[in-house]
A and B are shown apart, each in its own frame.
Chain A
Amino acid sequence: GENVEQHPSTLSVQEGDSAVIKCTYSDSASNYFPWYKQELGKRPQLIIDIRSNVGEKKDQRIAVTLNKTAKHFSLHITETQPEDSAVYFCAARWGAQKLVFGQGTRLTINP
C-alpha cells in the first residue's frame, strides 16, 4: 500500500538557523504533497504544498522541493524562530484520494 516515510523524527536547531525535514513516498501516482504544522491538541494546519508538475515552491521563510524521479520531497525553514517549534507532518495524495501522512517531526527551536 501507499507509504510515506519522514525523517528525522526529532530536530533541534538554534534560533536563526535553517531546518530541513525530508520525506519519501511509495505511490508514484501521487500528485499532491502538503506539509502541515501541528501544535499540541490542535488540527493540522497547512503551511505549504506542492503539486507534481512543480519542482520547488517558496513562501517567505518556507520552501518545499520535490524530486519525482526519486520520490522525495523536503521542507526547508530558514531563519527559524521560537514560534516555529511544533510537530511537522508531510503527506502525499493522488487526486481526491486520502492523504497519507508521514510519522511527523518534532521541531524544537532553541533561543
Chain B
Amino acid sequence: EPEVTQTPSHQVTQMGQEVILRCVPISNHLYFYWYRQILGQKVEFLVSFYNNEISEKSEIFDDQFSVERPDGSNFTLKIRSTKLEDSAMYFCASILMSDYYEQYFGPGTRLTVT
C-alpha cells in the first residue's frame, strides 16, 4: 500500500537556524497538509496546499514558515529562524481529491530546537 514518507525522522537544530522538513506524498494525491504536535498536546493544523499554492494556513503559520512543492514529488516545510517553541513532531498528510475523506499521515519528523 502506498505511504506518505517524511525525512528526516529526527532533526536537532540550534535556535535561529533554518530547517527544511521533507515529505513525499502519495504519488497521485493532489491535496497536501502540514500539521504539528507539541509533546503531550493535540495535533494542530499548519497549512494546506493545492494546485501549487497555499489554500489555507493557521495563525501558527507565520512569516517564519513556508512550503514548497519544488519538483512534483517532494513537499517541504521550511522554518527560517527556529525558536525553542518550534520543538514538536511535524506530520505531513495528503489526500487524493477533495471528495476523498481519509487523510494519509506520514510518520512524522521530530524537531528539537536547542
Contacts and interface: CB of A to CB of B under 8 A. Distances in A.
A98 B102 contact: no
Interface residues of B, number: 27
Interface of A: 32, 34, 41-44, 46, 49, 51, 89, 91, 93, 95-104
6 contacts: A41-B89, A91-B43, A96-B97, A98-B45, A99-B35, A99-B93
A97 B89 CA distance: 21
Interface in B12-53: 31, 33, 35, 41-45, 48, 50
A104 B31 contact: no
A91 B103 CA distance: 11
A44 B43 contact: yes
B9 to A, nearest CB: 10
Secondary structure at the A interface, as helix, strand, loop or mixed, is loop
Contacts of B108: 42-43
Contacts of B99: 95-96
Contacts of A51: 101
Contacts of A93: 101
A109 B20 CA distance: 39
Given A43-B105, A99-B35, A101-B42, 7 more contacts: A32-B101, A43-B108, A44-B105, A49-B102, A96-B95, A98-B58, A103-B41
